[in-house]
Amino acid sequence: MTTVLAFIFVFGLLVFVHELGHFIAARVFGVDVRTFAFGFPPKLWSKKVGKTTYTINALPLGGYVSLRGEDEYDLYNEIAKDLGDDATEEQYDKALANARSKERDHAGSLLSKKPWQLITIFLSGVTMNILLAFTLLYICFLVGFQPIYSGMWEHPGIKNDLEAVVVEVETGTPAEIEGIKSGDIITAVDGQTYYTSVDVLNTVRAKNTDNGAKVTLDIKRNGQMLQKTLATYKAKVATAGGGEKEVNRTGIVLETSGNIRGDALSSVGASALEVVRATKLTFIGVFDLFGTLITKFQLAEGITGPVGIVVATDYFANLGFVYLLQFAFVLSVSLAVFNVLPIPGLDGGHIAIIFAETITRRKFSTKTKNVIQLIGFGALILLMIAVSVKDFINFDIIGMLRGVFK
């Protein structure tokens, strides 16, 4: 239940803010908003206020804003109703042309807006996700937190008292032989300073070879500095689905203590810089995804989809609310970056069409736009299916289900 509620909170917040951006921008430019919906049908509740029907649907896996002039569905219905079943094709085409002309003259239609206004409307969802990411991280900096990735403390005015603390030394391991004790604080690995248990463990494991490796640890014990050389070895550990995998170990169990924190002013700069960094890294990841897909016809190693997001949501929800906020921050940036890509079916696809129409000085028909968007949407669905299959394998979902029903 915790996972479900956490997923609804995170995903619902991201989608709501995104669609709210489109809604606000459309209203600012006088575009009629026909529907503002959260979730997908079946419908649970709806109410019409003015020209807009506000809807809450049962499946909290998305949402949408329907704007006047976005498609010609309503025009088709009106023409069919007015002309009846006996209308000729010529009469229908003439009526449709007149309806399109009137729609372009209607102040509340997207078709009546200038290119820069349309671009602003389609970019507004992305903008709101970036603002949400900033806000979530700003809250984290104010209350103090343990970051989910490294370097978030490297900003002016941010206080850092993070430490990688040894909580257990396993019997018969190199760590016990070398005299590592519970309560020791590892400050550096081979001369490189680290503050979190994850960074220490990742660094030690990265230095391992098939025959093992040795690393030098700088340790603080009761206010004194010590140095220990530790060997690594391979061992099998259980996975979430009941299987096993081989990892590199030292015999040390670590946890991170302390947190990083900023004041009201320093948190602004730190949050803004981290949003920029996360955006840059996400773009690099997206380019790697499509580059690997195009050149090698395979999915990049680190890519994950809805299944992976659910697994990660469960993980961060169990760690605590501040961790969940950080995860929502990362997802919000990812949603913004992915949506701005010039792919049909996404906000960036709409913007690409607007640019193409502006450059060529030729308006694409709604039918052409719909076909382009449909092709893009179909490609995205296929990509999502492929990523989901990969997630099922990587996270051993079948094994997890078997464990539940044993």
pLDDT in tens, 324-366: 999 999 999 999 999 999 988 889 998 998 998 889 888 776 6
List of residues 6+ apart from 349 with CB closer than 8 A: 341, 342, 343, 372, 373, 376
Residue 195 has a pLDDT of: 92
Say yes or no: 292 and 387 in one domain.
yes
The answer to whether residue 323 sits within a structural domain is yes
Say yes or no: 276 and 390 in one domain.
yes
Say yes or no: 187 and 91 in one domain.
no
* Total residue length of the chain: 406
Question: What digits encode the pLDDT tens for the residues 205-262?
Answer: 777 566 667 888 999 999 899 999 888 887 766 654 445 667 777 888 999 999 999 9
Give the model's confidence band at 387: pLDDT under 50 very low, under 70 low, under 90 confident, else very high.
low
Task: Give the Cα separation of 122 and 119 in Å (integer).
Answer: 5
Task: Give the Cα separation of 319 and 229 in Å (integer).
Answer: 32
Say yes or no: 289 and 381 in one domain.
yes
The answer to whether residue 90 sits within a structural domain is yes
CA angle centred on 34, ends 32 and 38, rounded to 5°? 125
Say yes or no: 275 and 245 in one domain.
no
DSSP codes, 321-365? HHHHHHHHHHHHHHHHHHHHSS-TTSHHHHHHHHHHHHHHT-PPP
CA distances from 326 to 90, 147, 290, 303, 357 (A): 58, 8, 26, 19, 39
| Residue 395 scores a pLDDT above 60 | no
The answer to whether residue 156 sits within a structural domain is no
| Residue 401 scores a pLDDT above 50 | no
Say yes or no: 171 and 247 in one domain.
yes
Question: What digits encode the pLDDT tens for the residues 46-62?
Answer: 999 988 999 988 877 67
Whether residue 190 contacts residue 207, with contact meaning beta carbons closer than 8 Å, is answered with yes
Say yes or no: 277 and 253 in one domain.
no
How does 5-33 read in b/e, with b if 16+ C-beta sit within 10 Å?
ebbebbbbbbbbbbbbbbbbbbeebebbb
More confident residue, 190 or 309: 190
Say yes or no: 220 and 184 in one domain.
yes
The answer to whether residue 397 sits within a structural domain is yes
Residue 120 burial (CB < 10 Å; 0-12/13-18/19+)? middle
Question: Where are the strands (E) in 146-278, listed by range?
Answer: 159-160, 163-169, 185-189, 192-193, 214-221, 224-231, 233-238, 244-249, 252-257, 260-261
User: Which residue, 353, 351, 334, is CA-closest to 286?
Assistant: 334
What kind and span of H or E run contains 170? none
Say yes or no: 96 and 178 in one domain.
no
More confident residue, 157 or 371: 157
List of residues 6+ apart from 375 with CB closer than 8 A: 344
- Paired tokens of 47: 């109410």
The answer to whether residue 67 sits within a structural domain is no
CATH number at residue 168: 2.30.42.10
Give the model's confidence band at 307: pLDDT under 50 very low, under 70 low, under 90 confident, else very high.
low
Residue ending a domain, among 216, 237, 257, is 257
Q: Is the dihedral of CA 209, 212, 215, 221 positive or negative?
A: positive
Range of the domain at 190: 163-257
The answer to whether residue 112 sits within a structural domain is no
The answer to whether residue 24 sits within a structural domain is no
Residue ending a domain, among 59, 88, 105, is 105
Task: Give the Cα separation of 365 and 69 in Å (integer).
Answer: 12
Number of domains observed in the structure of the chain: 3
| Residue 147 scores a pLDDT above 90 | yes
Hey, which of 7-11, 20-24, 282-286 has the most confident mean pLDDT? 20-24
Say yes or no: 308 and 363 in one domain.
yes
Say yes or no: 252 and 282 in one domain.
no
Say yes or no: 196 and 300 in one domain.
no
What kind and span of H or E run contains 173? none
CA distances from 125 to 60, 110, 272, 295 (A): 18, 16, 18, 31
Give the model's confidence band at 131: pLDDT under 50 very low, under 70 low, under 90 confident, else very high.
very high
Question: What digits encode the pLDDT tens for the residues 269-292?
Answer: 999 999 999 999 989 888 887 777
**What is this structure's pTM?**
0.84
Whether residue 44 contacts residue 18, with contact meaning beta carbons closer than 8 Å, is answered with no
Mode of pairing for the β-strands spanning 185-189 and 214-221: antiparallel
More confident residue, 278 or 64: 278
Task: Give the Cα separation of 69 and 278 in Å (integer).
Answer: 35
Residue ending a domain, among 82, 105, 128, is 105
The answer to whether residue 62 sits within a structural domain is no
Q: Is the dihedral of CA 264, 268, 274, 278 positive or negative?
A: positive
Task: Give the Cα separation of 26 and 348 in Å (integer).
Answer: 17
Task: Give the Cα separation of 328 and 325 in Å (integer).
Answer: 5
